[in-house]
Structure 1
Amino acid sequence: MGATIFIDGEAGTTGLQIKSRLIGRTDLDFIRLDDAKRKDPAARREALNDADLVILCLPDDAAKEAVSLIDNGTTRVIDASSAHRTADGWVYGFPEYAPDSRTAVASGRLVSNPGCYAITSVAILHPLIAAGVLPSDWPVTINAVSGYSGGGKQLIAAFEDQGSEAYTDESFRVYGLGLSHKHVPEIQKWGGLMHRPLFVPSVGRFAQGMLVQVPLQLWAMPGKPSVAQVHKALSDHYAGQRYVRVCELKDSLAAAKIDPEELNGTNELRLHVFANEPEGQAVVVGQLDNLGKGASGQAVQNLNIMLGLPEDEGLDRPAHIE
């Protein structure tokens, strides 16, 4: 008999993707509530407390409520919302973050699944700051584009359902123009920044996929680091990791374009260093599936680690929006 899993919010975009990655698993048992009981507080409380491990795919306030309904000290939690990503007592669920992160996830009872924009930004910033290439007080700018699935069912309907009042024929939009996107505190804390990064997200007319860009004016940075130093800091940090890969510098420098949809259906996060060395400029770009390593794939990876199962179980087959 395997560990008992309850996905609270399994009908949402992330929940559906997690379910698709867990189909056919014989090493897990599942608690499922029918439609009539999904919003029944008593039924949810019972499921939350009966499970060995709960995955929360809920809005922030609902995730906090779900945690409060767990009244035992044994049920383990992976929270896919942003409610606990900077909270005390929660493990940040990015196993590749630091040498001891995988151990922390494995032993953690409360694990917060990183956000899609945030895991990519942190994956870029943390190694550069840890290696002394980028000062922790540097004024960082981050630009990003995501597929519309990142906005959940409402935004999916806006781009796909012509009968919806929210339907739009836009091909691209920039948002978060108040510069207070909910991922900013997470990026600042786990990226190791002393100051808030300036983060400008956008959404394109494609379902899933993501690019996150961190531009670096190398000529203005202390020590004027070289492009090779930037690349080495990232490569050294992620050496041997299966799901975070730094592309060869020569390949990135020869690239003419980068596709945000290339890694869809995978759990891979791929980092590129693009540069104009004579002008002292570089841009580090993270490429991933916003619903893969940016959400459901990362949740399944954390689940496997927490339960002592093969880390790649369920992560090497394509997952799709249902």
Structure 2
Amino acid sequence: MKYKVYVDGQEGTTGLKIFEYLSKRSDIEVLKIDSHKRKNPEERSKFLNEADIVFLCLPDSAAKESIALVKSEKTKIINTSSVFRTDKNWEYGLPELKNQRELIRNSSRVSVPGCHATGFILTIRPLVEAGIIQKDYPITCYSVTGYSGAGRSGIEEYENAALVAARNLHVPRHYALQENHKHIPEMLFYSGLQFEPLFTPIKANYAQGLAMTVPLISRYLPKRASAKDVHEVLARYFESERFVNVMPFDSEAYLDEGQFMISECNNTNRLEIFVFGHNDKINIISRYDNLGKGASGAAVQNMNLMLGIDEGDSLVN
């Protein structure tokens, strides 16, 4: 049996990457709209209602417009924008959270997590549930990501040598400094925390790969948990997961002369969690591909679950 799949927003970064995944599949028929008609409501409606699975790879407002066009009860929708991530009518597409996998399997509306939110939630939620972190702990975190996370405009900017030189783009840049990053609502909603984290994203001049870092101070934790305690909780939580791996404690062997390598999970759907610590200082770092587990790979993983087939089909671990 072939499933019909339509990517609404097929010319953007996420949509193109989804096409790349689906091109390997013999069980998928990709429906392709004429590029000149991709903004025509009648033409879009035809494709949206013909498909078994629709990927929405659109800005928030356009995603809402597409939803209004879907009338078919058989059409299942996977949204990659931020607009429905905290909507109770949509399931959050992070299967590695406890009990979430079954909810995704049985859903017709799934929202793919934001790239920064993915590593943060998978790091924090297990620790809150285990009582290692209290719900009102003042969490700070920062994320270093490649420029592909900024979409087509960001890619064009960073791959233009003249612009890189003129704007000094070879130097990493902090952004969203007013604490208004669009991933913060879901980071709060699904982490189990009572208050928003203080989140600083940093964009750097390399294409892809993301590292989310969460520092903790054990003397402010309710159980004065050590780095080793944190590692044990995370390792136990994800011990049976295919795509989330908790690396050996204090993993010096995985460093390059003591330096962390961000892009080692590129072109995979794998997310690796590291725990480092000294005295009462703890550093948790998750690394993954912002285009893989942080976007398109996660979208395909959710599609597989919703279709009732092998979760890892066409994905690289």
Give the TM-score category using the shorter length.
over 0.9
Which residue does 2:143 correspond to in 1?
144
Which residue does 1:262 correspond to in 2?
264
Deviation string, structure 1 residues 195-238 (Cα, Å, up to 9, x no partner): 01111101010000001000001122222112221011111110
The whole-number CA distance in structure 2 between the counterparts of 1:114 and 1:166 is 33
The whole-number CA distance in structure 2 between the counterparts of 1:250 and 1:218 is 16
Deviation string, structure 1 residues 12-66 (Cα, Å, up to 9, x no partner): 0011111111113111112110111111111001111111110011111111111
Q: Report the more deviating stretch, 153-162 or 88-97.
A: 153-162
Alignment of structure 1 residues 31-110 onto 2, 5 Å: 31-98=31-98, 100-110=99-109
TM-score, L = length of structure 2: 0.95
What is the SS of the residue equivalent to 2:263?
coil
Which residue does 1:113 correspond to in 2?
112
The whole-number CA distance in structure 2 between the counterparts of 1:168 and 1:69 is 42
Q: Which amino acid aligns with 2:96?
A: E
Q: Report the more deviating stretch, 131-140 or 253-262.
A: 253-262
Distance of aligned partners of 1:166 and 1:295 in 2 relative to their CA distance in 1, 3 Å threshold? farther
Q: Which amino acid aligns with 2:106?
A: S
Question: How far apart are 1:166 and its partner, in Å?
Answer: 11
The whole-number CA distance in structure 2 between the counterparts of 1:233 and 1:253 is 21
What is the SS of the residue equivalent to 2:6?
strand
2:175 and 2:201 in contact (8 A); partners too: yes
Is 1:314 paired with 2:314? yes
The whole-number CA distance in structure 1 between the counterparts of 2:48 and 2:141 is 37
The whole-number CA distance in structure 2 between the counterparts of 1:136 and 1:75 is 38
Q: Which amino acid aligns with 2:296?
A: S
Which residue does 1:122 correspond to in 2?
121
Which residue does 2:238 correspond to in 1?
238
Question: How far apart are 1:163 and its partner, in Å?
Answer: 6.0
Which residue does 2:130 correspond to in 1?
131
Which residue does 1:320 correspond to in 2?
none
Which residue does 1:227 correspond to in 2?
227
Is 1:207 paired with 2:229? no
Match of 2:273 among 265, 271, 274: 271
Question: How far apart are 1:168 and its partner, in Å?
Answer: 3.6
What is the SS of the residue equivalent to 1:144?
strand
- The count of aligned residue pairs is 314
2:217 and 2:282 in contact (8 A); partners too: yes
Which residue does 1:173 correspond to in 2?
173
Distance of aligned partners of 1:264 and 1:139 in 2 relative to their CA distance in 1, 3 Å threshold? same
Q: Percent identity?
A: 39
The whole-number CA distance in structure 2 between the counterparts of 1:124 and 1:192 is 11
The whole-number CA distance in structure 2 between the counterparts of 1:119 and 1:300 is 15
2:131 and 2:222 in contact (8 A); partners too: no
1:157 and 1:164 in contact (8 A); partners too: no
Question: How far apart are 1:167 and its partner, in Å?
Answer: 6.8
Question: How far apart are 1:290 and its partner, in Å?
Answer: 0.3
What is the SS of the residue equivalent to 2:54?
strand
Question: How far apart are 1:162 and its partner, in Å?
Answer: 3.7
Deviation string, structure 1 residues 240-295 (Cα, Å, up to 9, x no partner): 1010000010425884221111111000010000111x2x0101001000000000
2:270 and 2:316 in contact (8 A); partners too: no
What is the SS of the residue equivalent to 1:249?
coil
Q: Which runs of 5+ in 1 are unaligned?
A: 318-322
The whole-number CA distance in structure 2 between the counterparts of 1:167 and 1:189 is 40
What is the SS of the residue equivalent to 1:216?
strand
The whole-number CA distance in structure 2 between the counterparts of 1:220 and 1:91 is 33
TM-score, L = length of structure 1: 0.94
